Structure 1
């Protein structure tokens, strides 16, 4: 990276260029004159930089504005070109991997997915590369049009080194994900914990848009928590912030819990509220009873929720306990973080309309303050949009300060 001395002519130009682009992106369409007035820059300076941005295709002319003076020349309007480049977002989950191509405004143009466990033990990143190449071909895109790739991984992740420290659902320990991915792809790769990227995605375009203190709790194969404090993602001293899957929400049960199942390395809360844990609890509830033909042979956590909603007493007992654990975890997090909003994501959020009143009652009874609890806005595309936002947030596009 070239060095540009702060205060020098080149530095000032880059700063002005970045500010003009952000001004157009956030407030466009704008004329050159309006940009000069808003940023208090000279009209020649704005005109010269606008021409550069037009040539580089970061902005485009969108039409004619309204003249401020009677009979005066109507100004050309400028808008951000969200198709100037594209970003690949990859959401790696314990069950499936979802991949998407997005423009610079976060609009997903296409997505694909495949089973994690079918590929995790061999050629995992090659499977991702194969899907990415298929998506690019389908969209008629070249590698040079891709600004970068963001990857969300289900475990503690050292963002600086791009290493997944621990991902129990994948069997990864100190896995150099960034290095391995950049060896396969011709663009920059950024990696982070999957729930962290989901949180910044929701803050960027979703249910937490415009908020500065946000907690997102995702419950799927495992349980994770993304925390945004004062507008910044909080990762912790050793990248372990938000690992609430290890939170204890019942002291008596914790003392006798077998935490080696269903997966080695899972914490107490995950043992009872993660998908495999729910299945195991249901199996334990049905053990020793006559075969219940209303449950499929290889039932899932979704099946247990469905049975509970239908009034099955055994399923209700299991799910009520699950919701209690989640409620206590949410109440604890609210008391510690004091967020503006708590978002629930992952597979369990699909049943949130049914169990949300129970969560709210627990918060009211046990949290120090209240906070609204809502589901995430993006559903199954949450992780992909978050991974895209990771690239744009961390790099500030091509105009990152040097």
Structure 2
């Protein structure tokens, strides 16, 4: 892509900055002329014209004849538009249950997507499966790896983004796994990795309810529970990349002092009390109690079916889900009082029932917090795939790398 340029006052670096400014302006202000750009950015017309020619040649922007003639009656002016399909991004979300993959353009539109089950793939070269899926999706839209600017990957565990290593991902059985290197070797493309919830919160900031929010929390409820944090407009990772690992949060000291089942080895207290597998396990345990005489298809229970049973006022399911919701609510009390976000968004599979249990969560927060924070459920489909694309735009050495570019 671009050569690395030192931040000096050299002509090359000044040109690079002007190039970024012009591309960003065209991206945010569609169908503007060269004269519009020069006036808006206070850059000389010859400089603008030269840089625009380069951006057109490189495919970043395209020219379109105006439908309206100039006010002087001369030829119609040429307008410039950002070309979102000039380059593509591959977004990969590796979850404990499914791996979801999408091909996005530079505006964050998913052009093709697919998914496959995680656990079987772990036994049969999951990275090759990811690579094959990306190539298949590119073929579906008649594109090749040469069109892909970068690959963003979210992983369900503590991730060292500097080294490109997943330090620990219990649901995958990974410890110090060199994910970045593995995917780069498979595809031969630049790869950027992060914790899956971190890429999710980037997706919400880019395309979701909290678009451009400076202080944002995303809580994901799925196989386990995770937390992505945006502070002052930027992703907060912590001193050792473990910020937001609220799965280890304790929301009941009495239960924490007792023996409890870890859903996966290495999972924390909250993971083991609100994750989908933990809901199923607690439901089955209650069904095995000697004073219970009902009939359930316990072999085919899932978190989704238990939530539905609770909605239908089944007493045992209601008890299980009430315990789950209380743990979620008290975890939120702790997170909100520490970070004071503008809003909290719930995501992940369990959040699909959020509209039903959200009133209980809000009731707990209003009782324990002096200031109220907006809490809602995500409406953004494929949030982590989109967030993986956002990660690429933030990290990749390209003209689009800029604070606030999204």
TM superposition score normalised by structure 2: 0.95
State the shift of 1:138 in Å: 1.4
Task: Give 3-state SS (helix, strand or coil) of 1:256's partner.
Answer: coil
Distance in 1, matches of 2:296 and 2:64, equals 60
Residue in 2 that maps onto 1:274: 275
Residue in 1 that maps onto 2:233: 231
Is 1:46 equivalent to 2:48 in the alignment?
A: yes
Of 186, 189, 214, which residue of structure 2 is paired with 1:184? Answer: 186
Residue in 2 that maps onto 1:371: 373
Asked if 1 retains the 8 angstrom alpha-carbon contact of 2:96 and 2:171, the reply is yes
State the shift of 1:302 in Å: 1.0
Is 1:382 equivalent to 2:349 in the alignment?
A: no
Q: Deviations over 1:67-95 (max 9, x none)?
A: 67443554211110001010000000000
Of 109, 112, 118, which residue of structure 1 is paired with 2:111? Answer: 109
Distance in 2, matches of 1:211 and 1:240, equals 22
Residue in 2 that maps onto 1:154: 156
Asked if 1 retains the 8 angstrom alpha-carbon contact of 2:87 and 2:147, the reply is yes
Q: Deviations over 1:30-72 (max 9, x none)?
A: 1111100110011111111111111111001233165674435
Residue in 2 that maps onto 1:60: 62
Asked if 2 retains the 8 angstrom alpha-carbon contact of 1:334 and 1:370, the reply is no
Of 240, 243, 246, which residue of structure 1 is paired with 2:242? Answer: 240
Of 314, 317, 329, which residue of structure 2 is paired with 1:315? Answer: 317
Distance in 1, matches of 2:362 and 2:7, equals 54
Task: Give 3-state SS (helix, strand or coil) of 1:184's partner.
Answer: helix
State the shift of 1:398 in Å: 4.3
Distance in 2, matches of 1:244 and 1:3, equals 39
State the shift of 1:223 in Å: 0.7
Task: Give 3-state SS (helix, strand or coil) of 1:221's partner.
Answer: coil
1:294-373 equivalent positions in 2, closer than 5 A: 294-373=296-375
Distance in 2, matches of 1:226 and 1:61, equals 39
Distance in 2, matches of 1:81 and 1:385, equals 18
Residue in 2 that maps onto 1:207: 209
Distance in 1, matches of 2:26 and 2:397, equals 15
Distance in 1, matches of 2:53 and 2:135, equals 33
1:114-193 equivalent positions in 2, closer than 5 A: 114-193=116-195
Residue in 1 that maps onto 2:96: 94
RMSD, matched Cα: 1.6
Task: Give 3-state SS (helix, strand or coil) of 2:227's partner.
Answer: strand
Distance in 1, matches of 2:367 and 2:49, equals 60
State the shift of 1:282 in Å: 0.7
Unaligned runs of 5+ in 2: none
Asked if 2 retains the 8 angstrom alpha-carbon contact of 1:150 and 1:189, the reply is yes
State the shift of 1:5 in Å: 6.1
Asked if 1 retains the 8 angstrom alpha-carbon contact of 2:393 and 2:401, the reply is no
Asked if 2 retains the 8 angstrom alpha-carbon contact of 1:4 and 1:11, the reply is yes
Of 216, 219, 225, which residue of structure 2 is paired with 1:217? Answer: 219
Distance in 2, matches of 1:58 and 1:140, equals 19
State the shift of 1:316 in Å: 0.1
Distance in 1, matches of 2:294 and 2:109, equals 45
TM superposition score normalised by structure 1: 0.96
Asked if 2 retains the 8 angstrom alpha-carbon contact of 1:18 and 1:399, the reply is yes
